[in-house]
Amino acid sequence: MTKLAAEEEVCDAECFSDVIKFDVQKDVKYCAQLWEGSPPMAPPNPGYSESIQELKNVILSKASKSAGITLSQFKTKVEDLWNALLNESTNTLHVLYVLSRAMPSNVEIKAKVSDLTQFAQKAAELCQSEGTIIRQHDTFFSCSQGRLKLRDFMNGSGQLIFYERPDTDGPKLSRYSITPISNPQSLQVVLSEALGVKGEVKKERRLFLIGQTRVHLDTVEGLGHYMELEVVMRPEQTVEEGQQVAEDLMEKLGVSKESLVTGAYMDLLLKGHKET
């Protein structure tokens, strides 16, 4: 299997360090079999070759429909892949899955809601469901780039979420990474001491699923009523296609451009926006 995997590649690289900086003494514990055998970088895992080919097909399919990325964006993606290798399972099939889905993205819209009942009725009609009520307590922590928040679902479960997105009106692309948490209150104490707390957001969320879009009708403590659209991007979709999905749904839900807001709920609270 390793020979078959190697035959699929034509590359000048002879070892792992030719591709990315790697300290054998420091990092060997994460990927112990990556450079054993012949050739290097061919872990003896069943299904390796087929998984490599599947990953190539995903990458090529997405790249053929993409408008391209900048050099700095490419560098960030390479770093994301390396971090996935260091932090995730050493099972090759799982690592390939992580690499193919590294840092998924949403196209997002946020707007003020003046008529809660009317919006809920329109969303329920499109969703063909009354939606799901979710209580959330978000704690934001200080970090050097992007945003890091711990989401407590108030039932013993939660999520640690890192994301990056621009602060602009209208549809915007958000890159994110989510890790499920089984004891959010304990982790909140640790992260608060380590990083410092930037602020907290408490809300009741009514979730509607419409196609590939998550529609949130939120009642935020201290702010009032808002709606969010999160278009969960498919691997083959461009940002422009995601924006079009969001704008079409805005129109169906009766969301005006005048009601759009910039920034996260945490930003609005810090700026002193009041509940109306």
How confident is the model over 70-113, as pLDDT tens digits? 555 565 666 656 655 555 444 444 444 444 444 567 899 999 99
Tens digits of per-residue pLDDT, 38-67? 444 444 444 445 555 666 666 666 655 555
Give the chain's residues under pLDDT 70: 1-104, 166-170, 273-276
CB 92 within 8 Å of CB 51? yes
The model's pTM: 0.60
The pair of three-digit structure tokens given for residue 212, joined into one six-digit string: 């590939």
DSSP 46: T
- The confidence score (pLDDT) of residue 176 equals 84
Please identify, in words, the CATH class of the domain defined by 105-270. Answer: mainly beta
Neighbours of 244 (CB within 10 A): 15
Q: What are phi and psi of 10, to 5 degrees?
A: -125, 110
**pLDDT of 33:** 46
Strands 105-112 and 132-141: unpaired
Range list for CATH 2.40.320.10 in the chain: 105-270
Separation CA 140–CA 267 (nearest Å):
11
* pLDDT at position 89: 41
Please tell me the predicted confidence (pLDDT) of residue 273: 66
Q: Per 3-state DSSP, what percentage of the chain is helix, strand, and coil (rounded to 5)? A: 40, 25, 35
Angstrom distance (rounded) from CA 42 to CA 4: 10
Burial of 150 (0-12, 13-18, 19+ CB in 10 A): buried
Supply the pLDDT for residue 174: 80
10-14 long-range contacts (CB < 8 A, ≥24 apart) are 13/41, 14/39, 14/40
